[in-house]
Homo-oligomer: A and B are copies of this chain.
Amino acid sequence: MKLGFIGLGRMGQEVARRLIEHELVVYNRTHGKTMELAKIGAHVASSIAEACEGREIVITLLSDDVALSDVVLSARGILDSLPKGAIHLAMGTHGVHAIRSIASAHGKAGQFLVAAPVLGRPDVAAAGQVGIIAAGPANAVDRCQALFQKIGRRVFSAGPVPEGAAVVKLANSFVLGCAIEAMGEAFSLVRKHEVATSVLYDVMTDGMFSSPAYKVYGRIIVDQDYDRIGFTTELGLKDINLALAAADTSRVPLPSANVVRDRLLGAIAHGDGERDWAIMAHEQARSTGLE
């Protein structure tokens, strides 16, 4: 299969590497990041257009909606360069609005958009173990399955409309934000009663909450180890704002998302935007005079 790949951040590097056996043409705005892939055989394109022309599928793994829109819609971007009938496989975490408008543009150009955001961090991607939430026209999604097998451990089908995958990804992140917030509140409550936070951590993770969300983030909070960064507070806010924007479009009150958003804003206001978003627990503690 002839593949293009645009966006070689930490996740992009790992995903692209697993697809090297395809005739892979890679492009990144900053050239340096393409070198590792060139070494193992990828062809390095000097423009977006070159990464798209003649390709059956072009994958993007970009950090935000602005980057996605630029890459797709600007002159000699994906829309102008990808052949008719080819697929744009968007694997970044994007908002409903961005996916919707890009899907529409691709449709008018006779191309297909498959949204397939991934679940997992770079090390998980390196092992080919990410989860993939895929949505788009059934035929187009099918044509991506061989790639998905290389990249991830499981594909979750979110229906025929690309934005469906976006909203599921955002909903999952939002539920995670709520779990961290709830822990932050609960830990501050036990601290105020002179009980060690590790007691509650043990109770939670031994029982109803014996899963990574609580084990990983609970551990960071108990250890107050907010510089062991998995996901920054700024990125957390970005995702929560995308979830709230999706909720705004579809008229869904999300009171828990509001709580998470306010907590993240408070943390950033206090200078903690680049620390792990488990800092929410610290910000909650601050609000009750503990820090």
Which residues of A does B touch, CB under 8 Å? 96, 119-120, 131, 133, 135, 154, 156-159, 161, 163-164, 167-172, 174-176, 178-179, 181-183, 185-190, 192-196, 199-200, 202-204, 206-214, 241, 243, 246-248, 250-259, 261-263, 265-266, 268-271, 284, 287-289
In whole Å, how far is A133's beta carbon from the nearest beta carbon of chain B?
Answer: 6
| Cα distance, A257 to B288, chains bound together (Å) | 15
| Cα distance, A183 to B208, chains bound together (Å) | 15
Q: Is the CB of B211 within 8 A of A256?
A: no
Q: Is the CB of A207 within 8 A of B212?
A: yes
| Cα distance, A4 to B132, chains bound together (Å) | 55
Q: Is the CB of B248 within 8 A of A199?
A: no
Q: A194-B159, A195-B158, A214-B211 are in contact. Are A131 and B206 (CB under 8 A)?
A: yes
| Cα distance, A131 to B209, chains bound together (Å) | 13
Q: Which residues of B contact A207 (CB under 8 A)?
A: 119-120, 131, 172, 212
Q: How many copies does the complex hold?
A: 4
Q: Which residues of B contact A252 (CB under 8 A)?
A: 185, 188-189, 192, 265, 269, 288
Point out the residue from B185, B189, B251, B256 that lies within 8 Å of A167, measured CB to CB. B189
30 pairs of residues in contact across A and B, judged by CB atoms under 8 Å: A119-B207, A131-B203, A156-B202, A157-B199, A163-B193, A164-B194, A167-B190, A169-B203, A171-B186, A171-B189, A172-B203, A172-B208, A174-B182, A176-B209, A178-B181, A179-B179, A185-B255, A189-B247, A192-B251, A193-B246, A208-B211, A208-B212, A211-B211, A251-B266, A251-B268, A251-B289, A253-B265, A255-B255, A258-B259, A269-B289
Q: Which residues of B contact A135 (CB under 8 A)?
A: 195
